[in-house]
Amino acid sequence: MRQIPTPAGQIPALALGCMRLTSRSLKENEALFEAALACGAIFLDHADIYGGGECESRCGELFALHPDWRDKFWVQSKCGIVPGKRYDFSKAHILEAVDGSLKRLRTDRLDSLLLHRPDALAEPEEVAEAFSELKRAGKVRFFGVSNYNPLQIELLQKSLNEPLLFDQLQFGPAFTGMVDAGLHVNMTDGAAVMRDGGALDYCRLKGITVQAWSPLYYGFFGGVFLEDPAYEPLNQKLCELAEKYGLTPAGAAAAWIARHPARIQTIAGTTSPDHLRDLAAGCSVTLERQEWYDVYLAAGNTLP
């Protein structure tokens, strides 16, 4: 599988999103993790709110069953969303959240920790204290954010001793906001509106890896576009590419994301070993330039 260079070392172009582990049995999750190891998708993306913490616990069960697996996977989790209270980036909450994740995951460290959506009341200095304490204690190796714009990253980074290495943002063939504005510079149409502050180009400038969540969805969890009649031209184009490269349409979508020079990491929120393998195969294919634009236009986008 294609690898993405980061200041923390090489990471795979495909990560396994773990928010649905509670929907499967221990045996089924074991097969999923075995598939991840086999195809190189060894980056696990968790969050303390997934399944109310139960998804991390299910992963911890697998680490207990296979003690050697922990060192074979990159384990990432996110914190800051508090059901019923919204967001909390206080030092006390971050430290407590990480301890809870470590306990549920049955590990002594996270390879990376992301702040899960911006907290309007966050104090950058307080976040910095929490990060420094976690780093000193060996509980977290690297840090990042999720759903942040460039100015929010700059404000936080100013107080940190550690560089922010990841920004997790929604992106895929049917959710292209990160590239639309850049293609419609100086235009007056809706696609020219920059809604994320230029997050994609900023991350490229700063060496921050963009992690694409819900890559096969349209809208904010609007649904999967694959086989959706509303996205017939897009599905037809992906089927054509799938046939050409020996992929599934989902794999072709993953190839489309991987083709961008930002070296975006795709997060696959699947519980199917076969689907994971399909996406991994796509991440190893390099589409031609025209094919990338054909998919972009087939999704209903326009070019000036």
Per residue in 147-189, pLDDT (tens digit) is 999 999 999 999 999 999 999 999 999 999 999 999 999 999 9
Q: Indicate if the pLDDT at residue 137 is higher than 90.
A: yes
Cross-strand bridge partners of residue 76: 45, 112
CA distances for 240 relative to 104, 110, 244, 245, angstroms:
43, 40, 6, 9
Query: Is residue 253 within 8 Å of 238, Cβ to Cβ?
Result: yes
Query: How far apart, in whole angstroms, are the C-alpha atoms of residue 279 and residue 292?
Result: 17
Query: Is residue 292 within 8 Å of 263, Cβ to Cβ?
Result: no
140 phi and psi, to 5 degrees? -135, 130
Q: For the chain, give the percent of residues with pLDDT over 90.
A: 97
Catalytic residue, chosen from 50, 218, 231, 296, is 50
Query: How far apart, in whole angstroms, are the C-alpha atoms of residue 193 and residue 188?
Result: 8
Give residue-wise pLDDT tens across range 35-48. Answer: 999 999 999 999 99
Query: How far apart, in whole angstroms, are the C-alpha atoms of residue 138 and residue 109?
Result: 7
pLDDT score, position 120: 97
Confidence of residue 85 (pLDDT cuts 50, 70, 90): confident
Query: Is residue 177 within 8 Å of 212, Cβ to Cβ?
Result: no
Query: How far apart, in whole angstroms, are the C-alpha atoms of residue 167 and residue 264?
Result: 10
Please give the average per-residue pLDDT across 30-35, as a whole number.
98
Query: Is 50 designated active site?
Result: yes
Please give the average per-residue pLDDT across 89-103, as a whole number.
98
Instruction: List the domain boundaries for the chain.
Output: 3-298
Query: How far apart, in whole angstroms, are the C-alpha atoms of residue 119 and residue 190?
Result: 28
Confidence of residue 220 (pLDDT cuts 50, 70, 90): confident
The domain defined by 3-298 carries CATH number 3.40.50.1000: no
Average pLDDT over all residues of the chain: 97
For residues 197, 203, 206 and 209, what is the CA-based torsion angle, rounded to 10 degrees?
A: 160
Q: Indicate if the pLDDT at residue 282 is higher than 90.
A: yes
Q: Indicate if the pLDDT at residue 18 is higher than 90.
A: yes
Please give the average per-residue pLDDT across 105-121, as a whole number.
97
Question: Cα angle vertex 9, ends 49, 258, to 5°?
Answer: 70
pLDDT score, position 221: 81
Confidence of residue 302 (pLDDT cuts 50, 70, 90): very high
Q: For the chain, give the percent of residues with pLDDT over 70.
A: 100
pLDDT score, position 222: 87
Give residue-wise pLDDT tens across range 248-260. Answer: 999 999 999 999 9
